[in-house]
Structure 1
Amino acid sequence: MSDALINGLAGAGGGIIAQLITYPLQTVNTRQQTERDPKKERKKKLGTVEQMCQVVKQEGWDRLYGGLAPSLVGTAASQGVYYYFYQIFRNKAEATALERKKKGLGDGSVGMLSSLVVAALSGCVNVLLTNPIWVVVTRMQTHTKKSQPNRIGSLASEESIIAAVEPPPFGTNHAVQEVYDEAGFLGFWKGVFPTLIMVSNPSIQFMLYETFLKKLKKQRLLSSKGNNVSALEIFLLGALAKLGATVVTYPVLVVKARLQAKQITGGDKRHQYRGMLDAILKMIQYEGFNGFYKGMGTKIVQSVLAAAVLFMVKEELVKGSRWLLTRGAIDSVKPKLK
């Protein structure tokens, strides 16, 4: 099994576990980012935990996990694709660095700029392949159960009463159909341009992570403690790297969420976006720069925790996979030696 495939599978596994742990926070954050009702804006702002409780009270526990199934598919696909191509590009960058060293250029290690380029290329491939999944997930996260009026005519049938009080669940098929009806096949690539810009987020994240990890291992070697890094240290390095990347790129994430959410047709033109530039200009005009940072506190908690769990689980899965492959190779050689 190739190193790229090991990293791809480990990344997918780590991503799924991180997603399961932090998904309710992600749902609340997406709603915060896409909130455009000025009346709600003037009300007292609820904290993340209060908003989660409100969703549970008004819509039920299941709405905190709206879109979980396609999100898990998207996470597995995204992390798998990303880590697979990241390792391929990384191997090529390392080979190039060694060739340069032979020519007397550099020390043979991959520099910060090269790490950034590797992460960016991996991210672009990932975005173009998986954007449709995240459009569907955003629709399902922002869909709310609207309560129906209780006053129903006496001639209404029992079936119509049930339908009025409890609307049918909004599933993956509904979200897919809604996106297609609204914008056709290209609708599944809504928000792809800000998403491509958001490639800088994992690029910055991985650049910081690789830099921190490299320095930590170097310090360990200098202190004669070996270069082994514990799971807790990986967790903390991943959290720190994600924190820096999220603070820098959050405004683009808000714009992406606005474009991928259901567009409000008719009525207030402030809530209708024709594209990325139109969304940015309207947000500046009607909401000010504060609009670009809606729900940032929730996102920092969710993304930092998710990234920390992902890095920790991924590294442990990679170590475990390599150990199993090495042991399997040794066991297969033993009978021949006998």
Structure 2
Amino acid sequence: MTSNLPPLVQAFSGAVGSATANAFSYPLDLVATRIQTTSSRRLKGFHGILLALNHILKTEGWSGLYDGIGTDTAATLLSNFLYFFFYSFLRKFVVKRKGLLPKHGSRKSVLLSVSEELAIGFISGVASRAISTPLSVITVRLQTATEGEDAEGELDADEGDKEVVQRRKSSSTPSVIVKSIYQEQGLHGFWRGFSTTIILSLNPAITLLLFQMYRKFATHGCKAQARTGAPNPLSAFPGAAFPNAISTTLLYPLILAKTRLQVHRRNGNSNISMATIWERTFKNERWAGIYQGLEAQIVKGFVSQGVTMMIKQRIELAIVALILRARLSRPPVRV
């Protein structure tokens, strides 16, 4: 995605970067999920993030900030490995078919058309998430397992019976969650919200398109970076973080609907749809409800995507350095 290195190298570096970023940003991810699945009017804006964090710490302790991190890390590793592999493989294929391969020995990447970049990112996103969605569904259930059982899944940031919360938490292990999902909806339940996820595959596609454009701008005028076609790891952070914030804002109503579909387990209603979610939310909370939790999602995405690309870039540069060192250490061929 960010270089002409082999797909497996890019997949490995991207997966490691994503898993590391996930460890940094997971509490924000958990808070974003809980805010997205509540109808509480108090959890609005950045103040709502602090209230949610305070509620979790007060009722669950520090460990509560990492509920579900195991399955989420597994989903992150799997999804991002497949995503970066598919993306780099398809992109290299398209570049080769168009006869745009860089000269031998050059690591400079080629910027394709907007439609081609979006199409490659979209297809890669759908393929990777089709496999990792079950783990994502389990993660969302684990993240919201301590919420009350009211119809709207409301999280009260002011009150919280610690004993009740701990009882819910202790009875919500991954195996229990898996059994519950299967009993409620069968195997189909593990892909709940996938139709929305398909559309949301535009999120990384838009992010990577903007990042590719940023790379061209960031490396212009710098001989070392222009030769590799990649910005240094520090400049890669804002180059990935800001595009992610833009794409997240554009697609946020879909993100909200997907999360609420995946967590929905009440009233025995298995026919709830994305349109139903939007209709109910808009009726009760107007546009503010449609964008509930946007701030937490942006902050989480900003940190996660920025760290991912920064680490991925550093790993790729290290691999390139090892390759060059190996070539230079080879004895000259005698004629």
Q: Is TM-score (shorter-chain normalized) higher than 0.5?
A: yes
Q: Aligned pair in 2 of structure 1 residues 274, 65: CA closer, same or farther (>3 Å)?
A: same
| Structure 2 residue aligned with 1:97 | 98
Counterpart position of 1:157: none
Matched residues in 2 for 1:26 and 1:133: separation? 15
Q: Is the 8 A contact 2:43 2:51 kept in 1?
A: no
Moved runs in structure 1, 4+ residues, more than 6 A? 42-45, 162-165, 222-226
Equivalent residue for 1:128, pick from 127, 130, 133? 130
Which residue is 1:35 aligned to?
Answer: 38
Paired residues in the alignment total: 308
Residue 174 of structure 1 and its aligned partner are, at CA, apart by 1.5
- How has the CA–CA distance of structure 1 residues 165 and 34 changed in structure 2, closer, same or farther, with 3 Å as cutoff? closer
TM-score by length of 2: 0.83
Normalising by the residue count of structure 1, what TM-score does the alignment of the two structures yield?
0.82
- Paired with 1:329 and 1:53, the residues of 2 have a C-alpha distance of 55
Deviating more after overlay: 174-183 vs 19-28: 174-183
- 1: CA distance, partners of 2:266 / 2:117: 41
Change (3 A) 1:112 1:264: same
Question: Which residue of structure 2 aligns with residue 118 of structure 1?
Answer: 120
Instruction: Describe the SS at the equivalent of 2:98.
Output: helix
Deviation at 1:131, TM superposition (A): 0.7
Structure-2 separation of matches of 1:82 and 1:131: 13
Distance in 2 of aligned mates of 1:313 and 1:27? 22
Which residue does 2:242 correspond to in 1? Answer: 240
CA distance in 1, matches of 2:275, 2:324: 52
Distance in 1 (CA, whole Å) between partners of 2:135 and 2:228 is 42
1:46-125 superposed matches below 5 A? 46-98=47-99, 109-125=111-127
Provide the rounded CA distance (Å) in 2 between the counterparts of 1:165 and 1:235. Answer: 38
In 1, Cα distance between equivalents of 2:166 and 2:219: 60
Relative to structure 1, is the Cα distance of residues 214 and 163 closer, same or farther in structure 2, using a 3 angstrom cutoff?
closer
- Equivalent-residue separation in structure 2 for 1:165 and 1:141 (angstroms): 13
Counterpart of 1:97 in structure 2: which amino acid?
Answer: K
> Counterpart amino acid of 1:292?
I
- Distance, in Å, in 2 between the alignment partners of 1:10 and 1:164 is 38
Q: Match for 1:301: what amino acid?
A: V
Judge which range, 297-306 or 227-236, deviates more.
227-236
Structure possessing the higher radius of gyration over alpha carbons: 1
Specify which of 192, 195, 204 is matched with residue 206 of structure 2: 204
The reply on whether 1:301 has 2:299 as its aligned counterpart is: yes
1:219 CA drift (Å) = 4.0
Does the 8 A contact of 1:259 with 1:273 survive in 2?
no
Task: Please list every run of 5 or more consecutive structure 2 residues that lacks an aligned counterpart in the other structure.
Answer: 102-109, 149-162
Q: Is the 8 Å Cα contact of residues 121 and 205 (structure 2) preserved in structure 1?
A: yes
User: How far did 1:218 drift?
Assistant: 3.1
- Comparing both chains, which one has the higher relative contact order based on Cα–Cα distances under 8 Å and sequence gaps of 6 or more? 2
Q: Distance in 2 between matches of 1:281 and 1:233?
A: 41
In the TM superposition, residue 116 of structure 1 has moved relative to its aligned partner by 1.1
> Cα–Cα, structure 1 residues 224 and 304, in superposed 2: closer, same or farther, change >3 Å?
closer
- SS class of match (2:272): coil
Per the TM alignment, residue 169 of structure 1 is displaced from its structure 2 partner at its CA by 4.4
Following superposition, the deviation at residue 145 of structure 1 comes to: 6.6
Between stretches 136-145 and 226-235, larger displacement belongs to 226-235
Q: CA RMSD in A?
A: 3.1
